[in-house]
Amino acid sequence: MKENPLKVIMNPRSIATVGAGNNLTKMGTIQALSILKDGFKGKFYPVHPKDETVLGHKAYPSVLDLPEAPDLAVFIVPTELVTGLMEDFGKIGTKRAVVITAGFRETGAAGLALEKQLKEITRRYGIRFLGPNCIGLVNSALPLNITVMPLLGPPGLLGMASQSGTYITQTLGLLRRRGIRFSKAISLGNEADIEINEALAYLGEDEQTRAIALYIEGLQDPAGFLEVARQITPHKPIVAQYVGGTAAGARAGSSHTGAMAGPDHLYDGLFKQAGIIRVYSVEDLYGLGWSLATQPPLKGKRIGVITNSGGPGTAMSDTLNAGGLEVPVFSEVLQEKIRPLIPKQGARGNPVDLTFFLNAEAIAVAIPKLVMESGEIDGIVLHGAMGTGFMEEIHIHAEDLFGMPREKFLDAFREDLHPAVTLPQKYGLPFIVSSFLNEHDDYNIAYREQNVPVYDSPEKTARAMNVLWEYRQIQQRAPAESALLPPVEAEAAALVAAAVKQGAPILDEYSSKRVLAAYGIPISDEGLARSGSEAVELARGIGYPVVLKGCSAEIAHKTGKGLIRLQLKDDEAVEQAFEAIRKAAGEEIPVLVAQMVGGDRELVAGALQQPGFGPCVMFGLGGIFTEVLRDTVFRLAPLDRPAALEMLAAIRAKELLGEFRGMPAVDREALAGILQKVGNLLLLHPEIKEIDLNPIILDGARPVVVDALITI
């Protein structure tokens, strides 16, 4: 297996910078300071055409004057200088680079041409690089920081790959205050060479990284992304934010990094197929990612709620329930143990509500310890452990009364918090905290130092526990299987080739169904008639009742044009329907005579080639209301069996597929097989642009395609 190029980029023994000097207002100098001041222990070689020293280090007038080929070259220079400097690094043997410089593909045609020139040079010399138009990287274990903001504190556990540089550098101070620390963070920029799939693979293999956060504006290779992600999510959680699904988001992303955005529903399906947890804000990207990175697995649904106020306890309980978790009533034995620790008016059944009882030891130590030892819960959410943050607020009113300066006042109330904040680790249960106090409260500080997540609202705290449960469901999914393509069927290939040769935009319904049937997709029993007598003969062979439909590649939607006649029960009705359809069509079109499939449940399936995304499969509630109800889900093709079965459970109306009002449960294997085969069709016949199977009627348990359209 080829080594991931990020292994050297994230762990260089020597770094050369071009663009760093002694002017502290220049971005290159600021980033060089991050390298030097945040602990990098390797060799540092600044290249500067004029200065003899840069930030106290010997500088070299050109790349060719360097004493050795550095492991990593960092570019923060004017755009027009990048290609020449990259050529020089190639000549001396450097194989890895980070191009901070912007002004390439994201600026238009001229920038795109320059980016192509850069890629040609790097390919010639075997150089792999991040960027251009990125902000650098963070490796908290080395440590190494090539961004514009300081990296402080101990190594972290959350890995991040971002198509926005801001989210791995401007946020460093904010994250530090919230106790969130990166393991590794990678700014991808334009992804001219190293793209997000390789970054994801690197973070998936990194032992320091316990969970992965992704900020995505578009994917160059969705199928490759899916393949990499599916290998990671069974053992390491991934949380992702995608922002290119609207017209405005796609436009902004394109101007930002030149990203190729795609429809939101396709990315939503891709994430679900890959086992990725989707979020819709960068706050959740960090916050929920941090809980996934720090908390032990949630082994069950039972959550204990401990609070000093009814409102937060109710909010947490409600949010937990909405996310599929339970807040069970504690046993009488446990409640009796809790009773002496809370006021008489307090609640002990779960939630445990101390009703603003200012006994920090009870809420933070004694009660959580009892609940954890009981074996009655699988995780705890806690609101109201208050220390110096609360007393600091009180001091505003009490200063005159006590005549005591703030720090002395706070010192009088400081306690040993070690027994409280180490409880979660001792018992190995997920433990997540809610606090309205600022980050300087000593409880909040102590919890965060022990990697206990602290959120600023009860709902966020409960949502973090819900995400742990969501990830448990992902881990329990059936493992992915190989999705092998069958051989091309000659009849189907001939029908598609004929349409292409004739320049026909679509195959008519009869031909479309013949293509489907060639691959074993169940269709209604039918035949094509060109006269009334032929229609009667076909109807007798199929068996009454039958349906007649006008069949022409020129007419895609037949219902509104009077080209369908249903429930025809005898020869006379068939002859009359045949003539009526031809009259409505205004020409002597062929007429499809088909079995009248019984069943009240209608589904839709299909597949389409999405530019920039690839072949996708769709499934949902069908019939004439498909476009109104919009109860559909999408996945990438090819589908393996587990992914196809999962699609059936992903629609809102999934109960219709079970036993329903006297109707039997659908044959799920047969229905999943249709989804797999329709996806395979796009891969076996790339001339096909779209396939529409609507409706698929459930004839008892058996799904049958009764109408189909293939677009070329």
pLDDT, tens digit, 9 for 90 and up, residues 614-671: 899 999 998 776 777 788 999 999 999 999 999 999 999 999 999 988 899 999 999 9
CB atoms within 10 A of CB 428: 12
pLDDT at 557 over 60: no
* The predicted structure's pLDDT at residue 554: 77
HEC readout, 385-429: CCCHHHHHHHHHHHHHHHCCCHHHHHHCCCCCCHHHHCHHHHHCC
DSSP count for the chain of H helices, then E strands? 28, 30
Q: What pLDDT does 251 receive?
A: 46
- 677 vs 690: CA distance, rounded Å: 14
DSSP string across 271-312: HHHHTPEEESSHHHHHHHHHHHHHSPP--SSBEEEEESSHHH
Is 43 exposed, middle or buried, given 0-12, 13-18 or 19+ CB atoms closer than 10 A? Answer: middle
Q: What pLDDT, on a 0 to 100 scale, did the predictor assign at position 411?
A: 66
The pLDDT of residue 402: 66
Residues 179, 170: Cα–Cα separation, whole Å: 15
pLDDT value at 252 more than 50: no
Q: Is the pLDDT reported for residue 247 higher than 60?
A: no
Query: What is the DSSP track for 427-457?
Result: HT--EEEE--S-TTSHHHHHHHHTT--EESS
Q: What integer is the mean pLDDT of 592-619?
A: 92
Q: CATH assignment of 525-595, given 3.30.9.10, 3.40.50.1000, 3.40.50.620, 3.30.1490.20?
A: 3.30.1490.20
State mean pLDDT over 245-273.
Answer: 65
For the residues 389-398, what does the mean pLDDT come to?
Answer: 65
pLDDT, one tens digit per residue, over 48-98 is 999 999 999 999 999 999 999 999 999 999 999 999 999 999 999 999 999
pLDDT averaged over every residue in the chain: 92
The reported pLDDT for the residue numbered 256 is 37
pLDDT value, residue 101? 97
pLDDT, position 224: 96
Q: Where in the chain is the domain with CATH 3.40.50.261?
A: 297-475
β partners of residue 352: 306
CB 418 within 8 A of CB 445: no
> Which of the two residues, 240 and 388, has the higher pLDDT score?
240
> The domain at 297-475 falls in which architecture?
3-Layer(aba) Sandwich (3.40)
Contact predicate 253/217, CB 8 Å: yes
The encoded tokens of residue 100 equal: 């901070």
Report whether 308 contacts 353 (CB < 8 A): yes
Residue 141 zone, left/alpha/beta (φ > 0; ψ -120 to 50; rest): alpha
SS3 585: helix
Q: Which helix (H) or strand (E) is 352 found in, with range? A: strand 352-353
User: Quick check: 192 pLDDT over 50?
Assistant: yes
At residue 29, the pLDDT reads 96
Confidence of residue 479 (pLDDT cuts 50, 70, 90): very high
State yes or no: pLDDT of 372 exceeds 80.
Answer: yes
Check residue 493 and give its pLDDT.
97
- Give dist(CA 614, CA 272) in Å, integer: 17
Residues of the chain with CATH 3.30.470.20: 602-711
Q: What pLDDT shows up at residue 139? A: 98
Res. 260: pLDDT tops 60 = no
The residue count of the chain comes to 712
Average the pLDDT over 162-171 and give the result: 96
pLDDT of the residue at 249 = 46
The proportion of the chain whose per-residue pLDDT surpasses 90, expressed as a percent, equals: 84
User: Can you tell me the mean pLDDT for 369-389?
Assistant: 91
Q: What percent of the chain is predicted at pLDDT more than 70?
A: 93
Q: What is the pLDDT of residue 440?
A: 83
> How does pLDDT run across 324-338, given as a tens digit for each residue?
999 999 999 999 999
Helices assigned H by DSSP within 96-221: 109-125, 166-169, 172-177, 196-205
CATH 3.30.1490.20 domain locations along the chain: 525-595
Other C-beta atoms closer than 10 Å to the C-beta of 345 total: 9
Task: Average the pLDDT over 238-252 and give the result.
Answer: 71
Domain topology for 6-292: Rossmann fold (3.40.50)
Q: Are 516 and 708 in contact (CB under 8 A)?
A: yes
Adjacency order of strands within the sheet including 431-434: 352-353, 303-307, 379-383, 431-434, 454-455
Amino acid 68 reads E
Contacts of 206 (CB under 8 A, 6+ apart): 159, 183, 184
**Arithmetic mean of pLDDT, 303-317:** 96
Token couple for 540: 């007798």
More confident residue, 387 or 162: 162
Label the pairing between strands 506-507 and 708-711.
Answer: antiparallel
CA geometry: angle at 422 spanning 441 and 172, to 5°? 50
Residue 570 · residue 552 · CB < 8 Å:
no
Asked if CATH classification 3.40.1280.10 holds for the domain at 602-711, the reply, yes or no, is: no
Residue 1: pLDDT band (50, 70, 90) is low
Is the pLDDT reported for residue 276 higher than 90?
yes
Q: Residue 355 — pLDDT band, cuts 50, 70, 90?
A: confident
Q: State yes or no: pLDDT of 264 exceeds 80.
A: yes
Region 579-583 average pLDDT: 93
The model's pLDDT over 401-455, given as tens digits with 9 standing for 90+, comes to: 666 776 766 666 677 788 889 999 999 999 999 999 888 888 899 999 999 999 9
Is it the case that residue 255 has pLDDT exceeding 70?
no
Averaged pLDDT for residues 261-266: 80
333 beta partners: none
